[in-house]
Structure formats: structure tokens, C-alpha cells
Amino acid sequence: MSERLLARAAIYGALTLFAAFYLVPLAVVMLNSVRSTEDINHSSVIGLPSVYVWGNFAHTWSSYCIAEHCTGIQPYFWNSLRMVIPATVISTLLGALNGYSLALWRFRGDTLVFGIITLGVFLPEQMKLVPWAIVLRDLGLFNTISGLVLIHVIQGISFTTLFCRNYYVSIPADLLKAARIDGAGFFRIFWRIVLPLSPPILIVTVIWQFTGIWNEFLYGVTFSTGENQPVTAALIALSAQISQAPQYGQQSAAVLMAAAPTLLVYLFGGRYFVRGLTSGAVK
């Protein structure tokens, strides 16, 4: 009996230690966001606030200077939002449509088409930088949010098609056959049968697209400059400033605000997060 108890204690002990390891960065950022920079410089980034400084958030949000622009991270945050919302919605809709036609309206060469689209998931961003640079320049979309939306839509279709196609494949063929005998066409079947069955996969897809696009850095930093950058690029610009000593209090507030949207999505949609994660690999 006592051996069993010991084993249980060891299990919980190990789990708690690991939990501490994962939580340290979050705790550091949260605590430092309410500490003053002097306080942090006197001790270290790991510590409790001696005085609570709530002003870090307001200052970082609207008046902190990033690369000579004293606008705070607010405009960059809105840039990210203006990029992520249309890109997520459009790429998810196109992915659902692609998945629907690939899974349920089989045509000659459909597996080849699907295979090529899936390759897009693995293709490294570095292979696409030069083509995108030229395409954006020719379309006049360099250094615009629309340009970044275009990139994320096209590149996102690979992910969304993969997710949706693998989900739609499990819709029984008889259901469609019956609908077709009743005279329903391509769109009717999509609206009346497939879409009502889709919320689970659409939620998974939206969550993954939102997180991926919000967190993306390379395209943002390559194809936009100054005040048109998304918040990830602004964070790097902020911490790379050499004209002034690092302000860890304000930087922590900035980091926390930049990470908040995807963290909130994870907290409220964690279930779907895991579903998206496991759907590909376990099956």
C-alpha cells in the first residue's frame, strides 16, 4: 500500500515539476508587465513586483516608441487583426470548397491534385520568398496588409483543404447519392448536407489558421516595413532597439498583449486545438 502511495506521489511530483517549467515564461511575462524597469534591473526578470506598476500596459499600447514611431504597439496589433480575420475566413471557405469537391465529387486525377496541394503544407517559406516578392511587387501590394492577406490565403488553402478533405471523406456516399437522385446539384448538396455537418472541422480550421497567421513572422518582416508591420515583426523591432536600454517592464506588457489573442483562443478552444493536432497523425 505504501509503495503505491509513493508511486502516486512520484507521479504528481514529476507532473508538478514539469508544469512549473512550462509556466515559468508565462509567469515571468505576467509579473514583469506590472513591474517597473528599475525594479527588474535591480534584481532579475524572475521575481515578484516590489510595487505594482499598472501603467506599463497603457504606455506600451499607445505611446511606447518602436523604431522611432511613438505609437505603442496598438497600430501593429490592428494590422495583425486586419490581416488575420480576412485571411482566416477566406482560406477556410476556399478550403471547405476544395475539400468538398476533392472528397465528394471525385474526378480523374483528384488524388494527384490533393497530393500537390498537401505538399504546400510542407514547402518551407524560404522557397516562396522570391516568387512572392515579385508577385507582390507586380500587383502593387508590397508593404500592404492586403498583400499579406493574399499570401496567407493562398498558402493557407493547403492546410484548410487538407483538414476539410480528410473530414468530408467520412461523409457516407449514400447520403450524397440519395440527394443527387432527388435532383440536388453541387451547391444544394454543399449548403444543405455538407455545410450543416461541417461546424466541428470549420472550428478546428479557423482556430489553426488564426493561430498560425497571427503568429507568423517571416512574411510579415519581409514584405512590410515600418507602420505596416504585423505585431510579431513589431515585437522583434522593439526588442532589437539599440538606441535605448531595454525596458523590460514595458516589453513584457507588449509581449503579453501580442500573445493574448492566440492564448485566449487556446484557452477557450483547447479541445479543438488537440483535435486538429491529432487528426492528421493518429489516423
69 DSSP β-pair partners: 66
As a three-state string, the secondary structure of the chain is CHHHHHHHHHHHHHHHHHHHHHHHHHHHHHHHCCCCHHHHHHCCCCCCCCCCCCHHHHHHHHCCCECCECCCCHHHHHHHHHHHHHHHHHHHHHHHHHHHHHHHCCCCCHHHHHHHHHHHHHCCHHHCHHHHHHHHHHHCCCCCHHHHHHHHHHHHHHHHHHHHHHHHCCCCHHHHHHHHHCCCCHHHHHHHHHHHHCHHHHHHHHHHHHHHHHHCCHHHHHHCCHHHCCHHHHHHHHHCCCCCCCCHHHHHHHHHHHHHHHHHHHHHHHHHHHHHHHHHHHC
For residue 10, count other CB atoms closer than 10 A to its CB. Answer: 10
Minimum distance of another protein from residue 147's CB (angstroms): 15
Q: Shortest approach of another protein to residue 2 CB, angstroms?
A: 17
Residue type, 163: F
CB of 129 to another protein, least distance (A): 6
Q: Minimum distance from CB of 276 to another protein (Å)?
A: 10
Least distance from C-beta 91 to another protein, angstroms? 10
Question: In the bound complex, what is the minimum distance in angstroms from residue 98's beta carbon to another protein?
Answer: 5
Closest separation between CB of residue 136 and another protein, Å? 13
Is 23 or 178 the residue whose CB approaches another protein more closely? 23
Nearer to another protein, 126 or 243 (CB): 126
